[in-house]
A = this chain, B = another copy of it.
Amino acid sequence: MDTIVRISYPPVHPGTDSTGIVFAETSPDFIDLFKPGEKTGRRRFFVTDAKVATLALFAPFIARFDDGICGDDRLVILGSGEGYKTIESVLTIVKNAIDAEFSRKDSFVAVGGGVISDITGFAASLFKRGASCVFVPTTLLSMVDAAIGGKTGCDFNNYKNMIGSFYPAESIYIFPEFVQSLSENQYRSGLAEAFKTALLYDAELYDVFKNESEKICSRDKATVNFIIKKCAAAKASVVERDFTEQNIRTYLNYGHTFGHALESLAGFGSVTHGDAVAWGISRAAALSCNIGLCSRAYKDEVLSVLKRYGWETDPVPSIIKGGAAGARLLSIMHKDKKNTGGGIRLVLQKGLTETVSETVGDDVILNVLK
């Protein structure tokens, strides 16, 4: 297992001054990696979800726990899906750790997708004002994006990621083998964030998306590894330079203001995050073209690549068709946490890897939603 990236942060939080990203092409052996129940000088509080807990790669580890207990270590299995990305889930983790008398020198370990790492990292940041956390992402989305960079949080009041903290993991273990066990939906959701990364930072990765759709769709191992490593390195570089999203990190939200609004309007969990972001990218590209930022040729090519992977690029996605969907999306976008009063701030593109952030009027947004 190699540490492929190390990200450093301003050392304000105890034990959170850097993140080591470990990439292992071997099959994950969780018992060997974490040695549950053995005294390691630090107790571990494992958090996963009901779906991940049954994966063949992980089940033997789970079996070591009896009613959530294995020596000094603890395990909590939450429900699976965006519907569990709630403050109640976060507080369940905290409550169990308090009951088990965990200290802030102990560690929270999330094994799962972005929902699990976001809420576990959030719980770790709140617990006695901060204990360290470790992530083992099991989805492509989490490997290329969600687990990296210390954004933790949960949905609240029917808005995405409305509360949370900047709190990076101490270590992230990436086992690409998990990608082979993902459903088509989950895999495509991760691809969307990877495609976004390509558009923002990596022409070589973009070419792979454009020219190697067969390898990508068949989950060719070398191609998957290439995508993960490229994305992890790109995100690490951005996060290290702008941890709290004061400037360049906002670009990572490309497609997200539209995408989050779609997720919120459709009802969390009805559409995958990646599918929502992919549709959002199509809207951001269309808007960029409409206001003369990028060429029609660039916009058309981006939309054609999106379609090739099955993503919707229509102004109004089928799941929310009818009933003034555009106006309702716009209203939700106004509550997005990137807005700072006045218009809506969007990430847009002049072309491949040429990204800007601009405040645009409601009319311009409504134009690409009808």
Mark A residues whose CB is within 8 Å of B. Answer: 9-14, 43, 87, 91, 94-95, 98-99, 101, 103-106, 125-130, 151, 153, 156-157, 159, 161-166, 243-246, 334-335, 337, 339-341
- Known contacts: A13-B12, A243-B12. The answer to whether A103 contacts B162 by CB under 8 A is no
- Known contacts: A91-B156, A244-B130. The answer to whether A340 contacts B163 by CB under 8 A is no
Whether A128 lies near B243 (C-beta < 8 A) is no
The 3 closest A-B pairs by CB, nearest first: A128-B337, A12-B12, A126-B163
Question: Chain B: which residue is nearest A90 at the CB level?
Answer: B163
**How many chain copies?**
2
For A105, list chain B residues within 8 Å (CB). 340-341
- Known contacts: A98-B157, A104-B337, A341-B105. The answer to whether A126 contacts B13 by CB under 8 A is no
Of A14, A126, A129, the most chain B CB neighbours within 10 A belong to: A129
15 contacts between A and B (CB under 8 A): A10-B10, A10-B12, A12-B166, A13-B244, A14-B246, A91-B156, A91-B163, A98-B157, A101-B335, A126-B165, A128-B162, A128-B337, A129-B151, A129-B161, A130-B244
Please name 10 further chain A to chain B contacts, defined as beta carbons within 8 Å, in addition to the given A98-B162, A126-B164, A128-B337, sorted by A numbering. A12-B13, A94-B157, A95-B157, A98-B335, A99-B157, A103-B341, A128-B162, A128-B164, A129-B153, A129-B165
Q: Which of B126, B157, B339 contacts A103 (CB 8 A)?
A: B339
A321-B264 Cα distance, complex, nearest whole Å = 53
